[in-house]
Chains A and B, each alone.
Chain A
């Protein structure tokens, strides 16, 4: 079963194959592309969507990048499997809920292409940590390999043509997932969100549009896709990400200096709860894990423990808990399983000490 393989395989995000960093959890690049001469998925007839899926899947399966990867048609997956893919950000909710959507995912899970989402193709590349350049180069390679095979809809004046006017032009959405506990704790996050919004960047929660920022994790991305080149869009985003990372680091230093024992106490309590609780909701565990991640970044815990924390943030989500247990569970049963899994993963964690970073 393919989704089981995705959960158990070594991969970019839960095994931290890429370089791991204190503030930026991951970098993502997405390109929207459509086949010339065929209606967009939302307006196409079922037979046309089938034709698009067949052509795209055939082209994708031929690429070396997807050798020994996963080809998944949403109609052939259970609700739970689709929810796992959404929680891992490999497919969007829109694709998972649609009828004729499909996804092709590379073996290491860095590259995934959604077929028949809002556009015919959504090419996505994700990297752990802040690696916009290398994520972009992978996306560019996939784009170049697919263009001659599929014939993309393109106009000299408007660039790549998309279903929605907010994606036309480059079709590029570049984003970073940031862990910003100190900006949240010190009450500055609203100001940061407003500032970014005024300069054309969107700030969203952990699971994208319309979601809460559970665990102090935020996704920052460009909003405009037309009128600026890919290079300009990425440079603009990079500049802001550097600024936000710097502000978060400053806020952390200030918080540690001002709070003293209270700072250490917060991390120690989080570890205490996570190591002893018998019931843990998704929201509570995300918030406690956020404190623990901050503790690893600040030297209250050894830095090499951070990857275990990141993994629990991903694998503690509702569909992941059920898939890893191998059964559908109601919310109470999930809280029991989640607490057990976290207790087990943290059992040999050392005691929390004062910050050293």
Chain B
């Protein structure tokens, strides 16, 4: 019995079959010899190609209600659609953030005029304490004094909030 599956690129009978796991689901892609060579389907970089093809055929699982952007779009572009997308895809992006960033929580500035909530203030105190310890260790007393004042200021805003 001959193989009746067709190449995903040109529609010729497929002879190269690649299994790939996307979002916990097994996706099988099929190519003819020529396309597999040309597109490098037997190469580790094939996963990129499989991603693109799988993304084209897959049904979106998550869609941003505010801009219509979906997880399929994200796989194609690697960029989000709008600020509200972070709410929709935030959890799904957790693994990626852990890979490309220090930790998945913001330590740092907030827009001028925005009153930070208690959790944010505590996170900032935490990061200022870490900086203070590093400054003391490095005998950078100028920074240490500045940080000590900043921690005192942050702690007083936690108490008043």
**Contact assessment for A165 and B97 in the assembled complex, using a CB-CB cutoff below 8 Å:** yes
Chain B residues near A224 (CB-CB < 8 A): 100-102
Segment of A37-45, A177-185, A303-311, A347-355 engaged in the interface with chain B = A37-45
Task: Evaluate whether A147 and B112 lie within 8 angstroms (CB atoms) in the complex, with A43-B67, A43-B81, A232-B107 already known.
Answer: yes
Most buried by B among A118, A140, A148, A232: A232
Give B91 Cβ to nearest chain A Cβ, in Å. 11
Among B87, B100, B102, B114, the residue within 8 A (CB) of A228 is B102
Among A39, A43, A118, A158, the residue within 8 A (CB) of B106 is A158
Chain A residues near B120 (CB-CB < 8 A): 156
**Contact assessment for B83 and A227 in the assembled complex, using a CB-CB cutoff below 8 Å:** no
**Contact assessment for A168 and B86 in the assembled complex, using a CB-CB cutoff below 8 Å:** yes
Most buried by B among A36, A37, A165: A165
B65 in the interface (beta carbon within 8 A):
no
Q: Identify whether the interface residues of A are mostly helix, strand, loop, or mixed.
A: loop
**Contact assessment for A227 and B103 in the assembled complex, using a CB-CB cutoff below 8 Å:** yes
Q: In the complex, A246→B130 CA distance in Å? A: 27
Task: Evaluate whether A148 and B112 lie within 8 angstroms (CB atoms) in the complex, with A156-B106, A158-B106, A231-B131 already known.
Answer: yes
**Number of contact residues on B: which range applies?**
35 or more
Task: Evaluate whether A147 and B83 lie within 8 angstroms (CB atoms) in the complex, with A224-B100, A226-B102 already known.
Answer: no
Chain B residues near A5 (CB-CB < 8 A): none
Give B72 Cβ to nearest chain A Cβ, in Å. 13
Among A40, A152, A229, the residue within 8 A (CB) of B111 is A152
Most buried by B among A143, A159, A224: A159
Among B67, B96, B119, B134, the residue within 8 A (CB) of A165 is B96
B18 in the interface (beta carbon within 8 A):
no
**Contact assessment for A229 and B127 in the assembled complex, using a CB-CB cutoff below 8 Å:** yes
A157 in the interface (beta carbon within 8 A):
yes
**Contact assessment for B82 and A39 in the assembled complex, using a CB-CB cutoff below 8 Å:** yes
Task: Evaluate whether A227 and B107 lie within 8 angstroms (CB atoms) in the complex, with A43-B69, A235-B131 already known.
Answer: yes
27 A-B contacts (beta carbon < 8 Å): A36-B83, A37-B66, A39-B81, A42-B77, A42-B79, A43-B73, A43-B80, A143-B109, A147-B112, A155-B87, A158-B86, A158-B104, A158-B105, A159-B108, A159-B110, A164-B79, A165-B97, A223-B100, A224-B100, A224-B102, A226-B97, A226-B102, A227-B102, A229-B107, A229-B127, A231-B131, A232-B131
Which positions in B face A, CB cutoff 8 Å? 66-67, 69, 73, 77-84, 86-87, 90, 93, 96-97, 100-114, 116-117, 119-120, 124, 127-128, 130-131, 134, 143
